[in-house]
Amino acid sequence: MGAKWIETLAGSLEQKKQYRQYKARIEAMPEPYSTTAKAFQRYFTYYGGITDGDTLLTMFGDFADLWERAAADGTPVRAIVGDDPVEFAETFAQAYTGKQWIDKERARLVKAIEDVEHREQR
């Protein structure tokens, strides 16, 4: 009963556990992969706007897999991100089409216009 109450207030405990595991994977990577992954993660939190925890955790897990593989193979960072790290980040994030914060505002805008339209028709 206590865990359900906490999850209602703070969100899924399982998702928090998975996120901590992801963070530990990033921390355990050798340099420069750890620093690179952290920089992209920061960018994702500002750019991505993903609000669905499951989608976000899937994206972060796949991202950790990518950098762990690169570290194991000794692949240079630029060979992965190319000439434009922003383009790489945004293309990567777009592959995860979960619910985004802007979706709620889009729905509000559409509803507001529909409400106005209905009032005008009376």
**Rounded average pLDDT over 60-77:** 97
Dihedral, CA of residue 57, residue 48, residue 52 and residue 103, to nearest 10: -170
pLDDT at 36: 96
Residue 56 pLDDT level (bands cut at 50, 70, 90): confident
Q: In this predicted model, what pLDDT tens digit does every residue of 38-53 receive, in sequence order?
A: 999 999 888 867 777 8
Considering the segment(s) 2-121 as one domain, its CATH architecture is Orthogonal Bundle (1.10)
Residues 52-66 as b/e (b if ≥16 CB within 10 A, e otherwise) read ebebbbebbeebbeb
Q: In this predicted model, what pLDDT tens digit does every residue of 72-93 receive, in sequence order?
A: 999 999 999 999 999 999 899 8
Residue with the larger pLDDT of the pair 122 and 79: 79
**Rounded average pLDDT over 64-76:** 97
SS3 26: helix
How many angstroms separate the Cα of 58 from the Cα of each of 32, 37, 82, 103, 104? 23, 15, 23, 19, 22
pTM of the predicted structure, to 2 decimals: 0.72
Domain boundaries, the chain: 2-121
